[in-house]
Structure 1
Amino acid sequence: MPARLQIKAEDCSPLGQFILRYLEENQISMNRLAELSGVPQPRLRGACFKGTCPTPETLRKLARVIGKNHLELYTLAYEGRIEQLPETAEEDSLDRLIRELFDTARELELTAPKVLPSKAKIRKALLELGFLEENADRA
């Protein structure tokens, strides 16, 4: 059984809380996860705390070991940092939308694209999903 962690969940970002759950569920230590992922233990530990900004490379390395897409970890790492949501949006609507996209992709056995789609492709997909242009209501 791994040593008791000195990090408290209440001090952690959503990513840190996810990492702590992963360690507990898999009965491994932070040091072991650092070894498996190739992320130095101090960097891994630091990525767990609120207000930290783990690098995309750290998130990619962790994702490979944990079995998640690195974009899912990125979402957890930066959750709550996206500001100026529309006034009508619920506080957690963006997070729920991103998680739903990944859940659906997993169910359909799809993987995330290696290259970010163009804004035009993203716009077309959003319109097909039922999103409306802001000025469409005013016309």
Structure 2
Amino acid sequence: MPARLQIKPDDCSPLGRYILHYLKEQGISMNRLAELSGVPQPRLRGACFKGTCPTPETLRKLARVMEKHHLELYTLAYEGRVENLPGDADDISLDLLIRELFETARELGLAVPRVRPSKTKIRKALLALGFYNKTSEDIRTYS
């Protein structure tokens, strides 16, 4: 049984809370996660706290071990730091959208593309999801 963590969830960023949940779910210690990921334990511990900025390399290493895409951990690490979101972005944030895309892909057994899709392919996918070209009339409606 892993040693009891001294980090309190209230002191953690969303990434930190996810790491604590992962440790509990896997029944491993933070030292073991640090060992498996190749992230020094002090850096891993530090990444858990509010206001910290884990490096992209730390997030990539953790993502491999945790079987997540590093962008999912990135959105957790930087959640709430995007300021001045448009007024119509109340429930629709980029972080939530990215997480939903990855979660759906995982549920469907899909892997992340090896090559970045072209703008044309992305546009077709967005149109298929219900996005549409805004007209000046649409803009006035939402203003």
- The alignment's TM-score, normalised by the length of structure 1, stands at 0.85
* Count of matched residue positions in the alignment of Structure 1 and Structure 2: 139
- Deviation of residue 92 (structure 1)? 5.7
Residue 113 of structure 1 corresponds to: 113
Identity of aligned residues (%): 76
Most deviating of 73-82 and 30-39:
73-82
Matched to 1:63, the amino acid is A
Give the Cα–Cα distance (whole angstroms) in 2 for the partners of residues 138 and 67 of structure 1. Answer: 41
- Deviation of residue 31 (structure 1)? 0.7
Residue 52 of structure 1 corresponds to: 52
Residue 99 of structure 2 corresponds to: 99
Matched to 1:89, the amino acid is A
- The alignment yields a C-alpha RMSD, in angstroms, of 2.2
Most deviating of 33-42 and 53-62:
53-62
> Secondary structure of 2:87's match?
coil
Residue 126 of structure 1 corresponds to: 126
Give the Cα–Cα distance (whole angstroms) in 1 for the partners of residues 36 and 99 of structure 2. Answer: 26
Give the Cα–Cα distance (whole angstroms) in 2 for the partners of residues 45 and 135 of structure 1. Answer: 49
Residue 74 of structure 1 corresponds to: 74
Contiguous gaps of at least 5 residues in structure 1: none
